[in-house]
Structure 1
Amino acid sequence: MDLRFGALTGIKVIDASRVLGGPYCGQILGDHGADVIKVEGPSGDDTRQWGPPDLGPNAAYFAGANRNKRSIVLDLQRVADRSRFMEMLADADVLIENFKPSTLRKWGWQANEFIDRHPRLVHCRVSGFGPDGPYGGLPAYDTAVQAQCGLMSVNGSAESGPLRVGLPVVDMTTGLNAAIGVLLALRAREITGRGQSVETTLYANAISMLHPHASNFLGTGACPTPTGNAHPNIYPYDSFETSSASIYLAIGNDSQFRTLCRHLDLDALPQDPRYATNPARSVHRHSLRPILESALLPADGRELVGRLARDGVPAAMIGNVRDALEDPQTRHMGLLVDMDPGYRGIASPIRLSDTPPTYRCPPPVFPGT
């Protein structure tokens, strides 16, 4: 088979999901060659209206998760369109959907309906909580799940209190794990000849992201609290001010700490038992931080970060989104995609030597507009 469009060339995906988790999964598969057909209801994916800003004819939010797809409109309230939908699955390899269980029942479908009718189909279901349990079938959005699952409780500072993570990390992690699940199921199908159900939920993904806070709690029984920019287990792993900019130091071992101290003319500091090892530094962070603040404040942040990085110490300027997208490393790695007409987006972060991702079409305009 010719894999010129990517490793998943020849795989047909019906993406009947909406918002972010499912559509992001579909985009990942599409970037790597799958033929993805996005099925939308008469009013379209909710996120088509999640603007401004807009990116070409679509809301920027929608554009960020729906390239490399074609779109058709089906009103699944209608029997004829439900029949057409089932017909589309006859030669499909993957179905992605996030229909509510109550909606499936209203349409006369069971959860296993799709695989029962099409045994080779990989049926990927994305939902908030899954179909059963105390919250089974309830609706969920990213930030509400962040709140419920403790992500907000470890984000922010003592002064701010819990804060939402400023990115839809639950939705996007759900999309990533959905794509992983689909690939696992496709691999199993090569051996068994049968498809299977793949399920991932916002709730499970949020719980899975609690590292290291869950491990810390399970080991000690102490409930984690917000620590601002500081890492709960490692120090100095925190933000600091310099004369020219805010920087972040990510000191992961004792050798890196000794190198940092050498650059700051604090050579005696690693000899102090309170700061000689990471466990000691983490315990005594409140006395260590003022020492580092005093040494860092007169420094030129950009120049210092450059010297530290060249010496093997992870350090970075604290930049904004513009800084990141205009960074020379971003351009060098080809992490931006430009397509006509007027589409710009983030490239796939997955790089394969023989079957790289391809960008064949921008996010689809809503049919009929």
Structure 2
Amino acid sequence: MSERPAGDPGAGDPHAALPLHRIRVLDLTLARAGPTCVRHLADWGAEVIRIEPPPAGPGGDITGNRDGFDFQNLHRNKRAMHLDLKSEAGREIFYALVRRSDVVVENMRAQVKYRLGVDYETVSRINPRIVYGSISGFGQDGPYGHRAGVDQIAQGMGGLMSITGAPDGGPMRVGIPVCDLTAGNLLALGIMMGLFQREETGRGRWVHTSLLESMVFMLDFQASRWLMAGQVAGQAGNDHPTSIPTGVFPASDGPITLAASSARQWVRFCEAIGREEWLQKPEWSTTDGRSRDRAAINAAIAAVTQEKSRLHWIEVLDAAGIPCGAINRIDEVFADPQVQHLDMAKRVTHSRLGEQRIVGSAINLTGIDDSPRTATEDAGAATDAVLAELGYDAARIAALHAARVV
């Protein structure tokens, strides 16, 4: 692992016990999938230097709404540096950073990184220990390797939109950028495997995934239904496509969702809601039978659940061991006592914007505090400090600013 130099901001850091504190990452990512990957590394202690092009002029920050909720949530715990990778001087600085780093992450189109000279082959010649992580739309090569990709395109091409939404309702996108997020999560896992193997081999490697691959992977059992059973899944709305009954049902004050699909759960469910007679119906006594009679079962359940409140049914079904829950709006999610107990809304203080709440990590390691260390930095905030760590004096740094290299 890369050693932090004396005087480095990481030296003496109270968060040095974080598991990735020895790792230095160069972040060349844009949009969401790449930053999602790097956010994992940053949250767990890696020193991340986010490299962004310098502005063309005053107010020319190309990163968009940097103060907005999305950017602030994606880029916490990172240092922000301006660097023009199109210039020879900028690449020289980048290569100097590569020599002292462990990981490079990018999600450019394949041809762009080669044109800039920041591709894996070039970087690994400078530092053979580099683990180089890439996300693309459709893969690094192949018929679509040259194409740009965004989340919704991958949702469509990867099959997700064909199985999302009400039956015969037409394709429907998922309400979050699930392909971006999954690709970022998987790349972070792949980078950790690359770092782990490097401990044995002494060499890094290129780790890459794509939005399309991630989406096909996430099809999971729906994909295996086709590969192994020849079944093409369709839209099932709020019903689970194979586990019945699992779905959304009305209570007197709003909908609830429940799942009682196994044989044992079905018995407990019928007993809990006072419909033991359903257990005597031969057509509902097997999984296949309940699947064939899904519409009638759903209607019968709805007729019962609509008579009492959500809280009533959640308490009754929870006592019987039946998975169930309210259907919350986003504000209700963060008001939920269990979500509050899990501390999923983290507080961080920004130098200009004041106190903010950002989404916490879903990973828990016992004995380790995962509170955010720093808010998202202003554009280029760490540029001069990073250059000084590389040995650049004030005059050279000023010249780089004047030439708009940084």
TM category, shorter: over 0.9
Runs of 5+ in structure 2 lacking a partner? 4-13, 383-406
The question of 1:72 aligning with 2:87 is answered no
**Cα 1:31/1:45, change in 2 over 3 Å:** farther
How far residue 240 of structure 1 moved from its aligned partner, in angstroms, is 0.7
Match of 1:97 in 2: 106
Match of 1:355 in 2: 368
The letter of the residue matching 1:207 is: V
Match of 2:235 in 1: 226
How far residue 287 of structure 1 moved from its aligned partner, in angstroms, is 2.0
Q: Residues of 2 paired with 1:120 and 1:282: CA distance? A: 54
Q: How many residues align?
A: 362
Q: For 1:172, which of 181, 185, 193 is the aligned residue?
A: 181
The question of 1:14 aligning with 2:26 is answered yes
Runs of 5+ in structure 1 lacking a partner? 51-56
Q: Residues of 2 paired with 1:211 and 1:8: CA distance? A: 30
Q: Residues of 1 paired with 2:279 and 2:64: CA distance? A: 55
How far residue 192 of structure 1 moved from its aligned partner, in angstroms, is 0.9
**Cα 1:241/1:45, change in 2 over 3 Å:** farther
Q: How far does the alpha carbon of each residue in 1:88-137 deviate from its partner, in whole angstroms, 9 at most, with x for none? A: 11110111011222223323455421112210111111111122111012
Work out which of the two has the higher radius of gyration on C-alpha atoms and give 1 or 2: 2
The letter of the residue matching 2:373 is: R
Contact 1:5 1:32 in 2 (8 A): no
Q: For 1:49, which of 58, 61, 64 is the aligned residue?
A: 64
**Cα 1:294/1:278, change in 2 over 3 Å:** same
**Cα 1:112/1:270, change in 2 over 3 Å:** farther
Within 5 Å, which residues of 2 pair with 1:1-369? 4-42=16-54, 48-49=63-64, 58-108=67-117, 110-340=119-349, 341-367=354-380
Q: How far does the alpha carbon of each residue in 1:296-354 deviate from its partner, in whole angstroms, 9 at most, with x for none? A: 11121221112211221000111110111111111111111011123211111111113
The letter of the residue matching 2:140 is: P
Q: Residues of 2 paired with 1:257 and 1:357: CA distance? A: 40
Q: Residues of 2 paired with 1:240 and 1:29: CA distance? A: 40
Match of 2:389 in 1: none
Q: Residues of 1 paired with 2:162 and 2:343: CA distance? A: 36
Contact 2:120 2:206 in 1 (8 A): no
Q: How far does the alpha carbon of each residue in 1:213-261 deviate from its partner, in whole angstroms, 9 at most, with x for none? A: 1111223323211110111110111101111110001224122222221
TM value normalised by structure 1: 0.93
Match of 2:401 in 1: none
How far residue 32 of structure 1 moved from its aligned partner, in angstroms, is 0.8
TM value normalised by structure 2: 0.85
